[in-house]
Homo-oligomer: A and B are copies of this chain.
Amino acid sequence: MQNEAIAERQEIRVGGLPIGGEQVVVMAGPCAIESFDQLVSLGKQLREMGVSILRGSAYKPRTSPYSFQGFGKEALKWHSEAKKEHGLLIETEVLDTRDVELVAEHVDLLRIGMRNMQNFALLKEVAGCKKPVILKRHISATLEEWLLSAEYLMAYGNSQVILCERGIRTFETTTRSTLDLGTMVAARLGSQLPLIVDPSHAAGKRELVAPLSKAAIAAGADGLLIEVHECPSEAVCDGRQALLPSDMEVLIPQLASVATAVGRWL
């Protein structure tokens, strides 16, 4: 039953890497790009563990105008330069229609953050570039709204869309958001697009990331997007939810076991 579902899934290729096939893909990295050295050092460690894609934001959408807004263009350059050193594929978020072309030149995989899931001007612009794109579900989006935002990307020309569940806003404040694996499963049944899960933003707390990562794979996720930082207490943002590289080293073989248990590999 699990395998039939996989067979029908549309594979998206990032670089040469298929997303949505039998392999469960791990994407990891810092919330924000903080330096060139950070990317090289972390990228090398993550590559050895079996991570495929290095995440990292050059542009940061921040609730407050007084919070750190990302190093922007400079961080983009660090990202593509560091790739030569660590050899991982790289992804980053795009926030502004006017940055799409530049961002698409530098990375292998674009990300539309949850706040921009219904920024239709941005969706149309990203639809015009040739790079695959992660579309995060807004914290208050229904399944239908999420799929219709994916439809914007496809209707305007980009069918390389990877959906990403990252938790919804509910009354419960124990977790930063409520990871909604039920809707993720329904999205898999109602769409051919690959589906990944970001357990870090859902959890908001380091100690919940490992169990939620395993749960996501057990429920059928095609990949994970996990925040990792070498020194979370000094991270410019979201340090509370970042795993240490040493946590990842313990976690990855556990994830591989769960993947095997549901007929996949990592």
Chain A residues with CB under 8 Å of chain B are 1-2, 61-66, 95-98, 115-116, 118-122, 138-140, 142-145, 148-149, 151-152, 155-156, 167-175, 178-183, 185-186, 189, 202-203, 205, 207-208, 210-212, 214-220, 250, 254, 257-258, 260-262
On whether the beta carbons of B121 and A115 are closer than 8 Å, the reply is no
| Contact A181-B97, Cβ < 8 Å, known A65-B155, A262-B258 | no
- From B121, B170, B254, B260, give the contact of A168 (CB < 8 A): B170
- From B145, B155, B174, give the contact of A63 (CB < 8 A): B145
Q: With both chains docked as a complex, state the minimum distance between the C-beta of A112 and any C-beta of chain B, in angstroms.
A: 12
Q: Which residues of B contact A260 (CB under 8 A)?
A: 261
Q: Which residues of B contact A215 (CB under 8 A)?
A: 181, 215-216, 218-219
- From B115, B167, B175, B182, give the contact of A175 (CB < 8 A): B182
25 contacts between A and B (CB under 8 A): A61-B118, A63-B118, A64-B148, A65-B120, A65-B148, A65-B156, A96-B97, A97-B121, A98-B121, A142-B174, A168-B172, A169-B171, A173-B173, A174-B186, A175-B183, A181-B215, A212-B219, A214-B218, A214-B261, A215-B216, A215-B218, A215-B219, A217-B218, A254-B261, A257-B262
Instruction: Give A115's nearest chain B residue, CB to CB.
Output: B118
| Contact A148-B63, Cβ < 8 Å, known A119-B115, A250-B1, A262-B254 | yes
On whether the beta carbons of A143 and B172 are closer than 8 Å, the reply is yes
Q: Which residues of B contact A98 (CB under 8 A)?
A: 97-98, 121
On whether the beta carbons of B262 and A182 are closer than 8 Å, the reply is no
